[in-house]
Structure 1
Amino acid sequence: MGRILRGLAGDGNLRVVAADTTDVVEEARLRHGLSPTATAALGRAMTGALLLAQLLLKTPKERLTLRIEGAGPLGGLVAEADAFGHVRGYVKNPKAEAPLREDGKLNVGELLGPGVLRVDRSLPNGEIYTSTVPLVSGEIAEDLAHYLWQSEQIPSAVLLGVRVHGEGEVEVAGGVAVQVMPGAPEEVVARLEANLAGVQGLTPLLKEKGLEGTLEAIFQGLGYTPTDLRALGYAQNEIPVRFQCRCSREKALEALVFFTPEEREDMIVEDGGAEVVCHWCGEVYRLSPEEIRSLVAEVRCPDCGALWLYPRADGSVFRIEGEACRCGRKVEIPSERRAEA
């Protein structure tokens, strides 16, 4: 299990968030069967999502999602986190690889290629606030710092690192984000910049000194002070980090409602059921014929078969947006079902 630390430095002029994500990145590697460079890419993105969630999210019900769409062989990636240290993510092409950089490091930038970074913040009222910026380097840390400045007007520094060894196992992974508060004295910013210029790599620091020692090194002369997280209910004075997906057997079954009844019957006849794989975590759900045939309550377009309405087990209802179906027919819900919609 990983962990998140928070604190202040430079007499309160620097806001600091740091994370050790070694265990959750290794879990992601195993769940998705990632290549070494894909592991580094997703690991950095998951770590970055955790750091930004601490910096940007305002309420417990919010979530933050990073989406990187690139022209490289990875095809893009997605990472989602909340303020409680829960994170999940996936890449489009988990086996994709790229040659090492000239310095011998994993070439995440080439694996992603040119593209864009999109940051979605899911608000408590269900709205999604989205910002998109072009990728600066594709190495993710620089891209997140660029996003914070361009979209949030927050001058920041972001350090991310994933080191693999052996057959691709994650040896160490983590990150540090520093937010410069408004009105920070020039000497504080100059000292921070000098300290960061002296960091030869985040993963060597994490491997040698651990998370606390890494923060002491980065904020030498700036008086780093950890935040007392016990006041927020964290007895160990740190926020635990877990790879946690929101999939379930019920959601897997619900995904089949978007197939027509005839297509679902074909699944039963040809395969004896259905197999649904969660793209977020790789969990496999094998659904029986009885479960599949229980999906009989939906309302569909009589012309094209598109799903119009489906009552969920939790009492909520899926309903097509707008008054027209994708085929152009007017959406007409039977009177006995309108109350559900």
Structure 2
Amino acid sequence: MSDYIVRATAANNQIRAFAVTSKETVEKARQAHNTSPVATAALGRLLTAGSMMGIMMKGEKDILTLQIKAGGPLGGVTVTADSKGNVKGYVKNPEVLIPANEKGKLDVATAVGVGFLNVIKDMGLKEPYIGQTVLQTSEIAEDLTYYFATSEQVPSSVGLGVLMEHNNTVRQAGGFIIQLMPFAEEEVIQKLENSLSKITSVTQMLDEGLTPEMILERILGDFSDIQIMETTKTQFYCNCSKERVSKAIISIGKKDIKEMIQDGEDIEVNCHFCNTQYNFNVEELKDIYNKAVR
């Protein structure tokens, strides 16, 4: 298993924790969208978070969507994930290039800009759950930490990182989410806060060769009862297909489909999430029109 998520508990179930290595997931997204380094970092962080938050959901068909709507040059980032570890996403402007920040690192905060984080959970109910928070730093990890505290009332610490090679491929990617349960004792809280204060960065730990299990061991090492509860494979996966796209074309209405047919030319439809192009010739459009008429 290459990219995977571990779910664990500690401190007599007062802490629940997730950690993931997501290098191949982020690299596949980079290849699909031909993202610039800073766009890869932003999208990679949100994909990494989405993979962990997705498996927090219980239902087979539950879908999580994370949307960053902000005014920076990236133009926004969207990620969706399911409860099985599948995740996909895109940035609106994937080719953005901006100078490094004062620390010489990719300036994700400036690329994202000021705006909002939307968390949408479609769990098969009449209406999806929608939580929205103002971006605090636009670095994504801190913004999700704030979201958990304010929208879900779950004290959390989120760490996310993407490290690039000089040839702009992904060298490391991963993250963690540590959460305190409502019944957590003060001593546990203090011990966890002290441990988290010593953590430098996710990418440094990954570059040292730490696995997700080792990352949780480093963070939660002061607790003697860490238990790995589950290991889940995660991957960049898009469930689009020509059939699904044809159904989307039906939804635009008979009038527009008829105009396409009258133009007499093939059309190309692009999937936002994986950048796959689907070609439909006039005969296929006529077939879609006939289905729309029924």
- TM-score, normalised to structure 2's length? 0.93
Counterpart contact for 1:74–1:97, Cα < 8 Å: no
User: Is 1:244 matched up with 2:237?
Assistant: yes
Partner of 2:53: 52
CA RMSD of aligned residues (A): 1.7
Q: Give the count of matched residue pairs.
A: 289
Determine if contact 1:5/1:226 at 8 Å carries over to the other structure.
Answer: no
Cα gap change, 1:171/1:266 in structure 2, threshold over 3 Å: closer, same or farther? farther
Deviation at 1:287, TM superposition (A): 1.6
8 Å Cα contact 1:98/1:107 also seen in 2: yes
SS of equivalent residue, structure 1 residue 34: coil
Query: Is the Cα–Cα contact under 8 Å of residues 52 and 85 in structure 2 kept in the other structure?
Result: no
Q: Distance in 2 between matches of 1:16 and 1:157?
A: 10
Could you tell me whether the CA contact under 8 Å between 1:7 and 1:224 is conserved in 2?
no
Q: Is the 8 A contact 2:257 2:285 kept in 1?
A: no
Distance 1:256 1:63 in 2: 23
Residues 47-97 of structure 1: CA deviation (Å, up to 9, x unaligned) = 111222233x23222111000001100000100111110000000000012
**Is 1:101 aligned to 2:101, yes or no?**
yes
Query: Counterpart in 1 of 2:159?
Result: 159
- Tell me which residue corresponds to 1:127: 127
> 5+ residue gaps in structure 1?
230-237, 299-309, 312-336
Which residue identity does 1:255 align to in structure 2? A
State which of 285, 289, 294 in structure 1 corresponds to 2:282.
Answer: 289
Alignment of 1:175-254 (within 5 A): 175-208=175-208, 209-223=210-224, 225-229=226-230, 238-254=231-247
CA contact (8 A) 1:49 1:81 kept: yes
Q: Hey, what's the Cα distance between the residues in 2 that align with 1:190 and 1:101?
A: 32
Q: Indicate the residue corresponding to 1:7 in structure 2.
A: 8
Q: AA paired with 2:232? A: I
CA-to-partner distance for each residue in 1:211-233, whole Å, 9 max, x for gaps? 2222211112123523343xxxx
The residue type paired with residue 143 of structure 2 is D
- Mapped to 2, the partners of 1:127 and 1:86 lie a distance apart of 23
TM-superposition CA deviations, 1:134-157 (whole Å, max 9, x none): 000000011111111111111111
The answer to whether the 8 A contact 1:66-1:117 is kept is yes
Question: Aligned letter for 1:173?
Answer: A
Residue of structure 1 in register with 2:111 after alignment: 111
Preserved CA contact (<8 Å) 2:3 2:21:
yes
- TM-superposed CA distance for 1:125, in Å, is 3.4
Matched position secondary structure for 1:280 = coil
Aligned with 1:179: secondary structure?
Answer: strand
Q: Retained in 1: the 8 A contact 2:268–2:278?
A: yes
Aligned-pair distance for 1:274?
A: 1.5
What is the alpha-carbon distance in structure 1 between the residues aligned to residue 28 and residue 58 of structure 2? 28
> Which of structures 1 and 2 has the larger relative contact order (alpha carbons within 8 angstroms, sep 6+)?
2
Work out whether residues 70 and 112 of structure 1, in 8 Å CA contact, stay in contact via their aligned partners in 2: yes
Aligned equivalent of 1:322: none
Of the candidates 267, 275, 284, which is equivalent to residue 274 of structure 1?
Answer: 267
Contact 1:159–1:177, Cα closer than 8 Å, also in 2:
yes
Moved more, 80-89 or 92-101: 92-101
Structure 1 position 184, deviation (Å): 1.1
Offset, 1:266: 4.5
What TM-score, normalized to structure 1? Answer: 0.81
1:137 aligns to what?
137
Tell me how far apart the structure 1 counterparts of residues 176 and 257 of structure 2 sit (CA, whole Å). Answer: 50
Question: Are the aligned partners of 1:32 and 1:281 in contact in 2 as well (CA < 8 Å)?
Answer: yes
Kindly state the Cα deviation for residue 3 of structure 1 after the two structures are TM-superposed. 0.4
Deviations 1:245-278 (A, max 9, x none): 12110122233332614421255x2x4x121110
Indicate the residue corresponding to 2:42 in structure 1.
Answer: 41
Change (3 A) 1:223 1:206: farther
SS in 2 for 1:79: strand
- 1:263 maps to a residue whose letter is E
Given that residues 85 and 235 in structure 2 are in contact (C-alpha distance below 8 angstroms), is that contact kept between their aligned partners in structure 1? yes
1:25 is paired with a residue of what secondary structure?
Answer: helix
Provide, for residues 98-155 of structure 1, a one-character-per-residue CA deviation record: whole Å limited to 9, x for no partner: 2211112211111000000000001223531111110000000111111111111111
